[in-house]
Structure 1
Amino acid sequence: MENRISLGAKSRYSLDLETLEIIENDGKLKVSELKEQPIFTIAGTDFYVEIYSQTLIEVADPKNYLPVRDMTDMGDRYKFLYHPTYKNWPCELDDPKESFDVEVPYLIKLDPEGIARKHNIDPKELKGRKDIEFLNPNYQGFLARRAGKLPAIDIAGEQYFVDLENRQLVLKENAFHQLKFEDFQEGCPLSDDFSYRFAYDRQSRKVIASGDLQAKQAIIVELPYKVSLDPVGLARQLGFSDDHYIREYPIEKHLVAKVSNIKGANIPNEVDNSERKIRNRKKGFGL
């Protein structure tokens, strides 16, 4: 029987405790073996440096691991609070005097050969670079967003730009067609899995008032949390640096809103796209 542990709540990777292999959860493929990885020592305890899962895994007790994404990025290194007894972060009720700050070099410094091999580049090309450039699944998307390109989301087959600053969604094919956040129902982070919800008419591509929900083309749209919609825009609103959320919430390449019918049943994306094709066909015939 497999004896695996997930390397974090949102991690795509697991550790096989018997073989000490790192497994990609989606494809069930081995991506690395711990025994081949470099070692980083913290207060006398050795940790494997594992670049795929971006974790430090204790050599003597592989069940104990330190996700790099949970550490603070200081711009050229990471920093976190370490408890020498737990060999991990302290508990909230622990005496602060029992813990101390630990600085961890970037992974490109701890394992330059591994990073270079993974990305098929010369290790010399890593000089002066940051971890986020190689460990973020859509770093080019982040650069484009920082340069001014707004992220987009698919709503029932239509592409909308996400404009958090002006609290609106802007139809990609017509900048004058906008959906205002003030017309949406705002979700509660503690109880809802959406940031905004609204009724939407697929034909007119407008928000529907509560009294018109019997419209034939009416659907319910739920948008993901703001940090997923636009991590850079949210960081700016809250006064953080542009890359504050990027490690954990990269710019999505294909962001799709959840849609359902008025009764709450999910609508498959291919059905949404078929509605758009019908509308476009009618446009072509002047209908």
Structure 2
Amino acid sequence: MEEDHKKKQEEALEKRLSGELPTIDIAGQIFYVDIGMDCLRPKNIFATLGIQFSEIRKHYSWLEENYVFTYNPKTYESQEVDYTNIHSIPENLLLVELPSKRKLDPVGYARINGYEVNPFVKEVGIRSHFKAKIRPLKAHLLEQQRLDKEFRKSMQEEDRPSRKRRKGRSL
């Protein structure tokens, strides 16, 4: 099994070095991982730029090394949700989880960041194709609303003047 994994990695590296971009399946749509253009471009759909990494950057988890963001499969783009004013679950949105750019395309990532490709790929690993995870949107939205309320409450508490009584004589 180890030999098979090693062979797949070698094949993926060979394909990538010959110019073939890695792909990711997001809810049935294939996207090219184009680190040079800083995006995920939908295959055979030219009416959109796809998912821009600059737009989903704020949804990146450094601890998990992944992006979790809302995606509109009709437009093939990420779509922001106003968690504070949401009253129902948007029907046309999916919650998508995908790996970091360095895992999606270690060759492109290494080139752009000035790393030596082969040692970097050996450290990170390489694949030609990924499948994004689709997570439950409702649970995520409820958690975001809860966090937003907690944040607002803490900000209000910080803004309140302190009502501590002074010790000593009163004037």
Instruction: Measure the CA separation in 2 of the matches of 1:263 and 1:201.
Output: 15
Give 1:192's aligned residue.
Answer: 64
SS state of the match for residue 19, structure 2?
coil
Instruction: Measure the CA separation in 2 of the matches of 1:206 and 1:145.
Output: 25
Instruction: Measure the CA separation in 2 of the matches of 1:259 and 1:141.
Output: 25
Instruction: Measure the CA separation in 1 of the matches of 2:22 and 2:36.
Output: 12
SS state of the match for residue 243, structure 1?
helix
Larger-gyration structure (1/2) = 1
SS state of the match for residue 247, structure 1?
helix
User: Aligned AA for 2:126?
Assistant: I
Give how far 1:136 is off. 4.6
Give 2:119's aligned residue.
Answer: 244
Give 1:7's aligned residue.
Answer: none
Give how far 1:176 is off. 4.2
Runs (4+) of structure 1 moved beyond 4 Å? none
TM-score (norm 2): 0.66
SS state of the match for residue 160, structure 1?
strand
CA contact (8 A) 1:218 1:261 kept: no
Quickly say closer, same or farther: Cα 1:144–1:176, change in 2 above 3 A: farther
Give 2:74's aligned residue.
Answer: 203
TM-score (norm 1): 0.41
Give 1:172's aligned residue.
Answer: 43
- Structure 1 residues 12-91: aligned runs within 5 Å: 52=2
Give 1:46's aligned residue.
Answer: none
User: Aligned AA for 1:188?
Assistant: S
Give 2:53's aligned residue.
Answer: 181
Instruction: Measure the CA separation in 2 of the matches of 1:167 and 1:239.
Output: 16
Give how far 1:225 is off. 2.0
Q: Which has the higher contact order (CA 8 A, sep 6+)?
A: 2
- Percent of pairs with identical residues: 27
Quickly say closer, same or farther: Cα 1:193–1:235, change in 2 above 3 A: closer
SS state of the match for residue 198, structure 1?
strand
The CA RMSD measured in Å over matched residues stands at 2.7
Q: Does 1:217 align with 2:96?
A: no
Q: Deviations over 1:149-194 (max 9, x none)?
A: 11101111110001112211100122442211122134232x3341
Instruction: Measure the CA separation in 1 of the matches of 2:93 and 2:113.
Output: 34
Please, which of 8, 16, 31 is the counterpart of residue 145 of structure 1? 16
CA contact (8 A) 2:89 2:138 kept: no
Instruction: Measure the CA separation in 2 of the matches of 1:246 and 1:231.
Output: 6
SS state of the match for residue 117, structure 2?
coil
Structure 1: gaps spanning 5 or more residues: 1-23, 25-51, 53-117, 120-133, 266-287
Give 1:158's aligned residue.
Answer: 29
